[in-house]
Amino acid sequence: MTAAIDPTILHEVALTPPEYDRIVELLGREPNRVELGIFGAMWSEHCGYKTSKPLLRNFSSAGPAVLQGPGENAGAVDIGEGWAVVFKIESHNHPSAIEPHAGAATGVGGILRDVFTMGAFPIAALDSLRFGPLDQPRNRHLFGGVVGGIGDYGNCFGVPTVGGEIYFEDCYTENPLVNAMAVGLIRRDRLMRARAEGKGNLVMLVGADTGRDGIHGATFASVELSQDSESRRPAVQVGNPFLEKLLMEACMQLIKEELVVGMQDLGAAGLTSSTVESASKGGMGIEIDVAEVSRREQGMDAYEVMLSESQERMLIIVEPERQNDVLRVFRKYDLHADVIGEVTDTGRLVVRDGERVEADVPVGLLVDEVPYRYPEAHPSPERAAIRAQAIDLTGGPGPAEAFRRLLASPNIASREGVFRTYDHQVQNNTVVLPGGDAAVVRIKGTRRAIAITTDGNGRYTYLDPRLGAALAVAEAARNVVATGARPLAVTDCLNFGNPEKPEVFWELQQAVEGMAEACRELEVPVVSGNVSLYNDTSGVSVWPTPVVGMVGLIEDIAAVTRVGFTSPGDVIVLIGESAEELGGSEYARTVLGTVAGHPPRVNYDLEFRTNDVVLEMINQGFLNSAHDLADGGLAIAVAESCFAGGVGARIDQLKRGDLSPEALLFGETQARYLVSIDPGERRLAEVLATARAHKVSVRAIGVVGGDRIEIGEWISEPLADARAAWEGGLG
Amino acid sequence: MAGYTAEVYVVLKPLVNDPEGLVIGDGLRNLGFAGVKTVRSGKYLTIELEADDRAEAEQQVEEACQKLLANPVIEDYRFTVREVSAAT
Amino acid sequence: MAGYTAEVYVVLKPLVNDPEGLVIGDGLRNLGFAGVKTVRSGKYLTIELEADDRAEAEQQVEEACQKLLANPVIEDYRFTVREVSAAT
Amino acid sequence: MAASFGVVVFPGTWSDRDCFYAVHDQLHQEARYIWHKERDLSGLDCVILPGGFSYGDHLRCGAVASLSPVMDEVREFADRGGFVIGICNGFQVLCESHMLPGALLRNASTQFRCMPTNLLVENTSTPFTTEVTPGSVLRVPISHGEGNYYADPETLRMLEDTGRVVFRYVDGGGAATPEANPNGSANNIAGIVNEAGNVLGMMPHPERASDPLLGGEDGLEIFRSIVENSDRVVVG
Ligand SMILES: Nc1ncnc2c1ncn2[C@@H]1O[C@H](COP(=O)(O)OP(=O)(O)O)[C@@H](O)[C@H]1O
Ligand SMILES: [Mg+2]
């Protein structure tokens, strides 16, 4: 039945001919150009989650502290004393590949907006980044641009960028991953929702003027990067953090004065998705007149206004009698605020340009009729073979040399050169600065604090997507626990390749299942997240890279614990048991040059008990430092605790058993921590007893002190040399 | 070799958002310059360089613009080159 | 009223050091542009304004430079003004 | 002794809440916010021009803010002897307003720097430093991309000769080495006062060193000095 629709038009809006037919069927007529653009955007992968939505139902958002799960601009969790934290993570991979500085900056802007759209004041930002190796100039350019863009946006906006992670692997060449997370704080009874409610209420567009930038951003993120992306380049948006800061302050004031009914930021697909989504959530319709929209450029038509992705804009729903109060607030900040329409009870999105009706579509068709795709899924046989490979240790350089190489590996080396370009202290709340396991941000006026981390090891998920995704959750939990926080909730960002490839869709399925399982087992609900597909360049997909953002709660800030050794003479204790697990390890990659083998196993029950032991000991005040074991294993954890404390260590009581020295030193067995304890005051005995009572293995392995890092018969490196190698690793 | 001075102008492409220009424009209007319509901000670089001849100097500057001085995704550039000291 | 375009150049005074210019110069030499001696970075502003006549336009821009666009402690400026649309 | 602080808020300022916290929550002094369009400074002993990115740092840091209505009043307030402390962007605003000499250029690295610094207090007789033990080194963080202090040689010499350099970046041992200079500032200068001594500009953030939980209280000594000297202020 297909009408004579030009395929190039369908390509522009990223719809298939059968999807077009479906639109005609649902509408009972052909859509006009504006309507087609609106369908294209709302049914895109980016807005409509047409491939991932069915999978996301695996995630559980149930939990006693959850105030808002997925479905709003960000999730929200109760942290006690009337406070809630609001958080979400989001990708900006495709824009960053095209223009790293602007792409990353607007990524930060977008996630901050999601948080303050909920009414929360942004109190922290994090960024999880993946690049190709730095010896290629293009990758260095992307790295520099992305880090610069993140810093420029966050620093100007005035949110502390307190953490994140950076990995370098070949698969991210040309397709870097840029995931930004933001956390906001709000009184729990003040949460704002993105609802257009109340017939006759005004629809206002506030913030930046609308320009031609970013048109088709949503569909852009829903296809592979190709030569063709070059020609879509005008889509690049330049963010304005100064304006966003004013917009945030104005929105905070609206909420404080209770002047708005609903609030929805403009992100992907701009005015289209914000009007459609808020109408849908409110169960209402919206009618707007694009002629009322303040423009940055002349001659824009309805199509362009509806699909513009100009940044720093917000849609607010206001009762008519509050209009003047709202205008007063925006005038204070010299911001535009246009009344562009009103809420109706028709359930339709009606777009006018002056008198002319440009679009008239039932909202339900745009939101509830998204044609889900269920692509074929099957595992890659080659991958299974790689996973089955044993790690061959013969020919390795010996532990001392391996230690030096690992310290200087870009995946392990000090990140200070990056985070000192981010303001990580503004707002005067950052208790544990970047460089530790998780950042800790205190909640002023209480004894409470939150710990925040992002984690996701692409090597593990490449080798075993299901296990790797679970390990990301486990590692995030340990990072949070090491500071003294109880894991509270998770946000996730699923970075995958083209899901039309059966092995990619299989990876996605597996990763979601693994992550969902780990979250259930470790009792951390998923409250928000984001999906980024089509991370492919020239047909090659990035490794499956699910990233976990986790927030934990510290009830008494006095208990906060850091990674650095504090006092010479303290006993160093290893909690947890090491196994012969070098599959997928940083050692195998950096020292042996192989990404293969089986990633470390996960044992949820053990993770849970181990975390309990560590939390209990931290709360008793027994630990002078705590650090989880992750990339590079025990040796790297020891080194990091030494660097952070500015003191050496001697580890001479390791029990090797039948482990290889490499596995003992660099293996990445899970559920392990390195802690240090004052040997006096019977603390050590208490710690050992507590661990054993929880059936967690524990062993005093050495002593803090001196100016060398000494581990058994294998490693004896001057602290200063080790530090220099570690500090120079990012070049 | 002779010495040349290149003046390079780098500006945002016409459709690209220019937050700096917006602030400067508002600032000027607030100061009472009511006639100011729009301001676009750009960079102005002065480069002293040596080259065998003018053609080579121009070609070097052209390449420098493409590789470093301008970001082709969002910026346009133009330049002039003039000789400042004769060949040695 | 007629429409004018002003092009304003703001540069650091010769004795003020210019970290940005130094970094760009190093960057160019690292890229292999061995002939590059020095780079000075400045601003290039394009202002669209309306004024009664050219003299008034020039006088407005002069004043704008003094009041806002340049900081006399560290910067020098110059500008050109051209008419783009005739009086209405 | 008690003092009343006014914390000026320009569009894009973000240290306002941190400064307010330092003087109000930590030192229990009176404090109020002053939006940049306001002109009422009555009853204040000290005006704080906080850090941030006023007007997005566009054109030049502090340039547009220096033209705000409130700055006319701040200038007059200072002329009448009120204390003014400009921190980070506030220092830039004071230079752009010509209430302090010199200018703050792009960091020599051209990069933003957020890190702790050591400040040698060179003059403990200003109203901002009387509570500091002479010769002591304060640990106060910086957070800026344009903190590279510049003044022409004559001005520099005058500042040095007249004790107007109040803070200098030094290493742990108190030496003003190039390595201890985080931004390329002339003579490692981190803060200066005006001729009358009642207007201070400094790039480091004392309000971020005002809480033992966050790694130190050295910055409070500066605010405490202001409080102790506030009886000298009679601008009304
Ligand atoms: N991987 C995921 N896990 C959990 N929730 C998700 C995931 N991906 C998306 N969501 C939820 O789906 C909704 C839409 O996400 P998104 O399109 O990124 O929102 P926005 O347009 O506000 O940026 C949000 O509530 C988000 O939290
Ligand atoms: Mg949103």
- So what's the pLDDT on residue A586? 98
pLDDT at A3 over 80: no
| Closest listed ligand to the CA of A116 | 2
Verify whether the Cβ–Cβ distance D210 to A428 is below 8 Å. Answer: yes
Mind listing the pLDDT tens digit for each residue in A495-519? 999 999 999 999 999 999 999 999 9
Contact: A428, D55; criterion CB under 8 Å: no
Atom of ligand 1 nearest to the CA of A267: 21
Banded pLDDT at A405 (limits 50, 70, 90)? very high
Cα distance between residue A74 and residue A88, in whole Å: 5
D94 neighbors D8 (Cβ within 8 angstroms): no
- Burial pattern B34-73, b for ≥16 Cβ within 10 A else e, equals ebbeebbbbbbbbbbbbbeeeebbbebbeebbeeebbbeb
Determine the number of helices (DSSP H) and then strands (DSSP E) in chain B.
Answer: 2, 3
Nearest residue (CA) to ligand 1, atom 20: A73
Contacting residues for A552 by C-beta, under 8 A, at least 6 apart: A438, A450, A451, A452, A477, A480, A481, A483, A485, A486, A487, A488
Model pLDDT for residues A167-184, shown as the tens digit of each residue? 999 999 999 999 999 999
Of ligand 1's atoms, which has the minimum distance to the CA of residue A512? 1
Average pLDDT, chain A: 94
Size (chain C), residues: 88
Select the residue of C3, C41, C45 nearest B39 (Cβ to Cβ). Answer: C45
Range A255-279 average pLDDT: 94
pLDDT in tens, C41-70: 999 999 999 999 999 999 999 999 999 999
Are the C-beta atoms of A248 and A102 separated by less than 8 Å? no
Q: Read off the pTM.
A: 0.95
SS3 A26: helix
Q: What pLDDT is stored for residue A233 in this prediction? A: 41
For residue range A48-85, what is the model confidence (pLDDT) as tens digits? 888 999 999 999 999 999 999 999 999 999 999 999 99
Give the chain B residue nearest C26 (alpha carbons): B68
Q: A483 to chain D nearest CA, in Å? A: 15
Ligand 2 geometric centre to CA of A115 (Å): 8
Band (A228; pLDDT cuts 50, 70, 90): very low
Residue A144: CB partners within 8 Å, gap ≥ 6? A100
Distance CA A599, CA A464 (A): 7
Is residue D88 annotated as a catalytic residue, yes or no?
yes
DSSP assignment string, A697-729: -EEEEEEE-SSEEEETTTEEEEHHHHHHHHHTT
Residue D20, classed as helix, strand or coil, is: helix
Among A585-589, C13-17, C62-66, the least confident range: C13-17
- Give A13's pLDDT tier (boundaries 50, 70, 90): confident
Active site residue A627: no
Residue environment code for A238-249, b if the CB has 16+ CB neighbours within 10 A, otherwise e: bbbbbbbbbbbb
CB A648 within 8 A of CB A719: yes
Residues A709-728, mean pLDDT to the nearest whole number: 98
Q: Which residues in chain D have their CB less than 8 angstroms from residue A333's CB?
A: 11
Give A231's pLDDT tier (boundaries 50, 70, 90). very low
| 8 Å CB contact between A241 and A107 | no
Which is more confidently placed, A265 or A227? A265
How much is the pLDDT for A234?
A: 47
Q: Do B17 and A310 touch (CB under 8 A)?
A: yes
Contact with chain B for residue A296, Cβ under 8 A: yes
Probe site for chain A from B15, B17, B26, B66 (most A CB atoms < 10 A): B17
pLDDT in tens, A591-649: 999 999 999 999 999 999 999 999 999 999 999 999 999 999 999 999 999 999 999 99
CA A113–ligand 2 middle distance (angstroms): 7
Ligand 1 pocket, CB under 6 A: A 56, 59, 70-73, 88, 90, 114, 267-268, 492, 494, 526, 528-531
Distance CA B70, CA D35 (A): 38
ipTM: 0.94
Pick from B70, B67, B78, B74: nearest CA to B13: B74
Q: Which residues of chain D have pLDDT under 50?
A: none
Comparing A88-92, A541-545, A625-629, D131-135, which segment has the lowest mean pLDDT? D131-135
Inter-chain CB proximity C37 and B51 less than 8 Å: no
Give the Cα separation of C80 and A66 in Å (integer): 62
D58 counts as catalytic: no
pLDDT tens-place string over residues A300-343: 999 999 999 999 999 999 999 999 999 999 999 999 999 999 99
Q: Do D18 and A428 touch (CB under 8 A)?
A: yes
Mean pLDDT of A274-284: 95
Protein residues near ligand 2, an ion, with CB under 5 A: A 73, 114, 265, 267
Report the distance separating Cα A296 and Cα A150, nearest Å: 25
To test the ligand 1 pocket, which listed residue (A60, A530, A550) has its Cβ within 8 A of the most ligand atoms? A530
Given a cut of 50, whether residue A227 has pLDDT beyond it is no
Strands of the sheet with C75-85, listed across from one edge: B75-85, B2-12, B36-51, C36-51, C2-12, C75-85
Task: Spell out which residues of chain B touch residue A101, defining contact as CB-CB under 8 Å.
Answer: 71
CA–CA separation, D16 and A162 (whole Å): 20
Which chains would you list as touching A if contact means 3+ CB atom pairs under 8 Å?
A: B, D
Give the distance (Å) from ligand 1 centre to CA of residue A89: 9
Q: State how far the alpha carbon of D216 is from the alpha carbons of A439, A510, C75, D220, in Å.
A: 18, 48, 39, 9
Alpha-carbon gap, residue D200 to A179, rounded angstroms: 41
